[in-house]
Amino acid sequence: MSAISEALTSVRRRVAAATAKRTSNVRHEVRLVAVSKTKPVEDIIEAYQNGQRDFGENYVQELVEKANNEKILKLCPEIRWHLIGHLQRNKVPKIVALKNLSMVETVDSTKLAEALNTARQKYIPNGGPLSVMIQVNTSNEEAKSGIAPEDAPSLAEYIKDSCRSLKLVGVMTIGAYDYDVSLGPNPDFLRLITCRNTVSSHLEIDAEELELSMGMSSDYEHAIELGSTNIRVGSTIFGARNYSKPSVEVKK
């Protein structure tokens, strides 16, 4: 078995074990999003051939190039792409019509939601709504994108009431890095759960109808135990990233 296949098998086993430890009644199964940023097309195909279907990318240009890659289109027809990095409004037209785009996890303003909704209607009028998550800045760090937790309910309401080409499926956070799990539940994850609960009561829907996207390589099991339904795992599957050699050339 290759390194990627072995890593996927191990992550799946750990996901199943963490899922079994969940105390609350989480309605959704856990979706493993394999974060392939900076990694070559061959690695994505290999993971796909090992049964992986959801893949996450941070940068719009890299997502566009990989989603349009001929080999991936041919060999990975059921691939589901997630945008997990910051999206600028002027880049929205580049991604809404992408084949196999499954979810934009990083909506953090009404203006961005509006732009996505308008572009979706324009480019794929009969395509059904695009699934989106609200990115929440739970760690209150300037450098991290995401909306402040207290502003999430009104954004959720805007998406639900005014964006008929978008479907709000959950909330997402990155959180502070290097949290030591032995100290207890990650406060960022707890803040995302609280935010999800506030949003769902504001929308008058069941909390379990909204997913939680939290947990990465270092803490995905912990996140699942707290109720995460969408984990974003990169380096544990594909190996450490080398940022000095981008896998896709950035076109100016």
Ligand X SMILES: *Cc1c(COP(=O)(O)O)cnc(C)c1O
Count the neighbouring beta carbons within 10 Å of the beta carbon of residue 153.
Answer: 17
User: Is 174 one of the binding residues for ligand X (CB under 6 A)?
Assistant: yes
How far apart are CB 108 and ligand X at their closest, in Å? 12
Q: Which is nearer to ligand X, 84 or 96 (CB)?
A: 84
CB of 190 to ligand X, least distance (A): 18
Tell me if 196 contacts ligand X by CB under 6 A.
Answer: no
Angle at 34 between CA 93 and CA 235, to 5 degrees: 115
Smallest gap from Cβ 85 to ligand X, in A, equals: 6
Residue 58 touching ligand X (CB under 6 A): yes
- 178-209: buried (b, 16+ CB within 10 Å) or exposed (e) per residue? ebeeeeeebebbebbbebbebbbeebeeebbe
Q: Using the structure block, give the residue that is written with the tokens 């209150």.
A: 140
Pick from 187, 205, 235, 246: which binds ligand X (CB under 6 A)?
A: 235
Asked if 61 touches ligand X (CB under 6 A), the answer is no
> Is residue 197 within 8 Å of 160, Cβ to Cβ?
no
Which part of the chain contacts ligand X (CB under 6 A), choosing from 1-9, 59-67, 137-145, 228-236? 228-236
**Which structure tokens are listed for 79?**
């691939």
Q: Per CB under 6 A, does 210 bind ligand X?
A: no
Interacting residues with ligand X between 14 and 43 (CB under 6 A):
35, 37
Three-point CA angle 102, 176, 211, nearest 5°: 35
Closer to ligand X by Cβ: residue 15 or 233: 233
**Residues paired with residue 211 on neighbouring β-strands, in sequence order:** 170
Residues binding ligand X (CB under 6 A) = 35, 37, 58, 84-85, 174, 216-217, 232-236
